[in-house]
Structure 1
């Protein structure tokens, strides 16, 4: 992997991060550190990370997903069959500030390392260990995939057509979400260490990270007996509009969680009368008139390119 370091030093330029194992959650967690200026070194086996072969592939046969998850990092190939590899990896970890560990998902032929012994010698090390279900609990040790985690967490029930089975996207959504949570935890440890505290160890559960998006539905069902059902493709309860819409050229992501965002969206499209309608101020109210509202703003979006709308929206 070629290193494509940013010119901007970011806010974590002094942090050295080592990434081991193969997990989209740990890869994205490390990617976020790299985005903020940290020196992130990815350890790969001689054949390369498995995600390098994950579709979609570019015209050069390179994985677009791998490029996204590993932007701004450098890569080091370590062969466990070589003499001295364990000592070399141990030295790299002892010299870093943060270890982001995806071996529990896929070891990626990583040579064995004694993390407990390393942390005993390097008390400032922050260790983030990603796994499907965490280190404890009834599911600990269970095998899983992104495709099984998402439905178990209740994340696909509302995705797809209103009638028929839900849709499943072939991507790494659970890993992206878990990587975000892992980076927040690890960053908090970095701040704590700057204040004189020791490094911390975090068990990152991909499953529990995904529950953060569906727990609202659990509370709704428990408190009010509501069974939320799918409302159609590109429509996501409990807010509308929230989705990806076609423009004259390209697609535009729209999110209108607050009344202010809804009004601003309508003003941008020259539909102020829609934004000023008190009966449509809240997302739950707009959900009752989805078809009528879409008939007004969807044709407007197709009059300009996505980049033009993006520029206009920033104003």
Structure 2
């Protein structure tokens, strides 16, 4: 279904956001706010703009990723090394509810845009700062990308087959986790602002966002000296949960780790002997004999296709699934029924399928009301909103302070 361009709506309608980030962490946070109605003014450098515009696969010279990451935003091209451009940012911040940035600590201060001073100028301003290591501490000045944060946060050590090199998750999960933690921080700060009338600065470090999702990693080390290692496709300490090979070359993910689920699984694969074994009635006993259980399940799946395995396990109410490629996602009826495969129309008239809006709110859902902007598409409109005259805008353009559309 084609997405129509409609006025911004949603639970964050009326919220003014200035986005000064680039690539993933800051822009993903701003995208999430924009999806739910916030007016996001994205500041980009003149010239090439946000580097994400040219990342990965391009269509008509622009990344299709850009169409997702910058939907619902407005673009203003500003040369932040210029004092006049810095003054424009201060004017925007003076009227904003939220400012988001993900530069290395000290970058904003180097542009005479110290967030603490911006908050003093606009006491209601909420500032989100995302960086590799945070705004304080001995590592604060190190360059920190998502992959480094994932490694320091403990995730990369776990993403491997035992004895093999740890691998990347496959997407920039560290950046995205930091973004989502940032959005949570923004919403909490806005909620608190309703009582105090005061904004504040939110400090999110990539490695801490990853570390916050590491479950029992640290307390297990603290209590037992246990260093959790990579477990491949298995779920360590919980059995049975694994990926099992099938006759068509695919894998079936089977999660039979609940006590009653385990008994249904064993009945479904014809191994009631294991299902009724009192030593395997609980997780602790199953973990001790996980190799035996995995071998029994694997022997059963190897003689069946993925579809055949899932049909049997679905009928037995055992959680199971296939490993989806993006082609599987695009063809899946559940994705479509949930509105997760949205169609947008690009400027060249072609349609593009993009991810739908998450989370789903029953009364005030988010949506896409505007395609990702061209570089500087909204520079002049935003300047007029700040009260600048046409003559002043023309002067800023002639001096290279701002860039409008060519």
Highest relative contact order (Cα 8 Å, sep 6+), 1 or 2? 2
Residue matched to 2:131: 131
Indicate yes or no: 2:58 matched with 1:53. no
Computing the radius of gyration from Cα coordinates, the structure with the larger value is 2
Residue matched to 1:73: 73
TM-score by length of 1: 0.76
Cα deviation, residue 281, structure 1: 6.7
Residue deviations 1:184-238 (CA, integer Å, cap 9, x gap): 0110111122234311111111111111123622221221233323222x44545
Cα deviation, residue 22, structure 1: 2.3
Residue matched to 1:14: 14
Gaps of 5+ in 2: 311-327, 339-406
Q: Is the 8 A contact 2:10 2:37 kept in 1?
A: yes
- Give distance in 2, aligned partners of 1:255 and 1:137: 43
- Give distance in 1, aligned partners of 2:49 and 2:244: 34
Judged with a 3 Å threshold, the aligned counterparts in structure 2 of structure 1 residues 42 and 273 are, in CA distance, closer, same or farther, namely farther
Judged with a 3 Å threshold, the aligned counterparts in structure 2 of structure 1 residues 80 and 222 are, in CA distance, closer, same or farther, namely closer
Q: Is the 8 A contact 1:124 1:193 kept in 2?
A: yes
Judged with a 3 Å threshold, the aligned counterparts in structure 2 of structure 1 residues 284 and 220 are, in CA distance, closer, same or farther, namely farther
Misfit runs of 4+, over 6 Å: 3-8, 242-246, 309-313
- Give distance in 1, aligned partners of 2:269 and 2:106: 52
- Give distance in 2, aligned partners of 1:71 and 1:39: 11
- Give distance in 2, aligned partners of 1:205 and 1:178: 7
TM-score by length of 2: 0.60
Residue deviations 1:158-191 (CA, integer Å, cap 9, x gap): 2122332111245311111111111101101111
Q: Is the 8 A contact 2:241 2:255 kept in 1?
A: yes
Cα deviation, residue 143, structure 1: 2.4
Instruction: Name which of structure 1's ranges 94-103 and 152-161 shifts more when overlaid on structure 2.
Output: 152-161
- Give distance in 1, aligned partners of 2:61 and 2:96: 33
- Give distance in 1, aligned partners of 2:243 and 2:337: 18
Residue deviations 1:108-131 (CA, integer Å, cap 9, x gap): 9x9542433332221110011111
Report SS of the residue matched to 1:302.
helix
Cα deviation, residue 99, structure 1: 0.6
Number of aligned residues: 301
Superposed CA RMSD: 4.3
Residue matched to 1:210: 210
- Give distance in 2, aligned partners of 1:28 and 1:4: 22
- Give distance in 2, aligned partners of 1:13 and 1:245: 49
Indicate yes or no: 2:297 matched with 1:293. yes
Report SS of the residue matched to 1:21.
coil
Q: Is the 8 A contact 1:4 1:72 kept in 2?
A: no
Residue matched to 1:181: 181
Residue matched to 1:191: 191
Residue matched to 2:159: 159
- Give distance in 1, aligned partners of 2:38 and 2:285: 42
- Give distance in 2, aligned partners of 1:157 and 1:145: 17
Residue matched to 1:32: 32
Judged with a 3 Å threshold, the aligned counterparts in structure 2 of structure 1 residues 227 and 104 are, in CA distance, closer, same or farther, namely closer
Gaps of 5+ in 1: none
Give the counterpart of 1:302 among 300, 307, 315.
307
Judged with a 3 Å threshold, the aligned counterparts in structure 2 of structure 1 residues 154 and 301 are, in CA distance, closer, same or farther, namely same
Judged with a 3 Å threshold, the aligned counterparts in structure 2 of structure 1 residues 75 and 160 are, in CA distance, closer, same or farther, namely same
- Give distance in 2, aligned partners of 1:257 and 1:73: 44
Cα deviation, residue 80, structure 1: 3.5
Instruction: Name which of structure 1's ranges 166-175 and 78-87 shifts more when overlaid on structure 2.
Output: 78-87
